[in-house]
Amino acid sequence: ETGVTQTPRHLVMGMTNKKSLKCEQHLGHNAMYWYKQSAKKPLELMFVYNFKEQTENNSVPSRFSPECPNSSHLFLHLHTLQPEDSALYLCASSQAGTSGSVDTQYFGPGTRLTVL
Amino acid sequence: GENVEQHPSTLSVQEGDSAVIKCTYSDSASNYFPWYKQELGKRPQLIIDIRSNVGEKKDQRIAVTLNKTAKHFSLHITETQPEDSAVYFCAASQVSGTSYGKLTFGQGTILTVHP
């Protein structure tokens, strides 16, 4: 699959579990994003990595821990989550940095997370 | 920070009719306004975008208009078809030089096109 891929597509976990979400982009982009999409809420930006450096943390609880080992991969490590964290987690990537350009964000298919 | 309001939250039209979705933004520095379409169970996909140096942009049945003075922008879909049924999100960001785009999204509009 080309573009932005995410695994797993569905995840059910208990509150005491530790799991990780993975995102991979095949577009040669230099910026990657994690979003949370809950029912009846706008897409919420969680983290931004620009050239592998975290440049944005939108007041996200520490039970969510991002990792960006290189410009193509992004992880979201989860531990001791709460039921209200159940949502669709979307990864996106873009090419930022060219003067005058607009960096269209391309989304992955998302991971549907259910916390029991 | 930026705040984007989107209306209506739901929109139901008959096939062939036009649909209009409106968004307002708060930060006058925002200069890039994309629209995303998200079909049920699928990822958001960019359908059209506009930069602040342009007042209107069209792509076949889809058009976006921007009023910088009033800080609002709208999506217009003409000759709607059942496959246009989806959730539509507007967004705003300030893009410049080497910066990435921190998109602030509206709440989304559920568009239903009845055959």
pLDDT (tens, 9 = 90+) of chain A, 116 residues, equals 579 999 999 999 998 889 999 999 999 988 899 999 998 788 899 998 887 677 777 789 999 999 999 989 999 999 999 999 999 999 999 887 654 455 688 999 999 999 99
For residue B32, the chain A residues in CB contact (below 8 A) are: 102
Do B87 and B109 meet the contact criterion of CB atoms below 8 Å apart? Answer: yes
pLDDT at B52: 84
What sign has the CA pseudo-torsion A58, B26, B65, A38? positive
What sign has the CA pseudo-torsion A5, A11, A14, A15? positive
What sign has the CA pseudo-torsion B40, B43, B49, B52? positive
Quote the tokens at residue B67: 């009023």
- Across the interface, of B4, B43, B99, the residue whose CB is closest to A90 is B43
How do residues B49-76 score in pLDDT, each as one tens digit?
A: 998 888 999 999 999 999 999 999 999 9
Q: Tell me the C-alpha distance between B25 and B54, whole Å.
A: 16
**Nearest to residue B25, comparing CAs of B87, B75, B67?**
B67
CB pairs under 8 A between A and B: 62
Q: Which residues pair with A10 in a beta bridge?
A: A112
- Put simply, the answer to whether A43 touches B44 (Cβ < 8 Å) is yes
pLDDT (tens, 9 = 90+) of chain B, 115 residues, equals 889 999 999 999 999 999 999 999 999 999 999 999 999 889 999 999 998 888 999 999 999 999 999 999 999 999 999 999 999 999 998 876 655 567 899 999 999 999 9
Pairing, β B109-114 against β B86-92: antiparallel
- Put simply, the answer to whether A103 touches B104 (Cβ < 8 Å) is no
**Nearest to residue A23, comparing CAs of A31, A13, A34?**
A34
- Put simply, the answer to whether A42 touches B51 (Cβ < 8 Å) is no
